[in-house]
Amino acid sequence: MKTEILRPASTEDFARAAALIRDGQLVAFPTETVYGLGANGLDAAACARIYEAKGRPSDNPLILHIADLSMLDEAAEEVPPAAAHLLTAFAPGPITVIVPKAAHIPPLVTGGLSTVGVRCPAHDVARRLIRAAGVPIAAPSANISGRPSPTTA
């Protein structure tokens, strides 16, 4: 796996990071809480790379990050009223809601469950990356499974 360092101030680097996500590669990016290790949340092979890189058990579901609430339909089959209320009140921000997954979400993302965690981060870089990629980004913290989560690059 080749590592590239991209700068969030660069339009070209945003385009490159988004292209990497769409092409099934992994991209580490900041959120308002920790750095995430992201992949195209609609691509099972890309999400398998997250599990491999982290040494994460495949029955531990991934969270799908969306740029804004208009992307919710790409992740959820339906949004129960309580989840909609929470997201309207607290997103973007450090809140994850569990909703019935959309049919096209790979089982690997959800650990085989019928539900998926969805989050809309409040960090501008994260939201810009998700928008540029055009897909929900599956992203746990960017650390080896069981180790402390990184809060700086």
Q: What SS3 class is residue 86?
A: helix
In a domain, 2, yes or no: no
Q: Which of the four pLDDT bands, split at 50, 70 and 90, describes residue 150? A: confident
**Which residues does residue 30 pair with via DSSP β-bridges, in sequence order?**
35
pTM: 0.93
In a domain, 3, yes or no: no
Domains contained in the chain, number: 1
In a domain, 98, yes or no: yes
In a domain, 1, yes or no: no
In a domain, 4, yes or no: no
Mean pLDDT of 41-70: 96
What is the extent of the structural domain holding 125?
11-138
Whole-number Å distance between alpha carbons of 124 and 44? 26
In a domain, 74, yes or no: yes
In a domain, 153, yes or no: no
CATH number, domain with residue 27:
3.90.870.10
**Which residues does residue 64 pair with via DSSP β-bridges, in sequence order?**
118, 138
In a domain, 5, yes or no: no
Q: Which of the four pLDDT bands, split at 50, 70 and 90, describes residue 4? A: low
Q: What is the pLDDT of residues 63-97, one digit of tens each?
A: 999 999 999 999 999 999 999 999 999 999 999 99
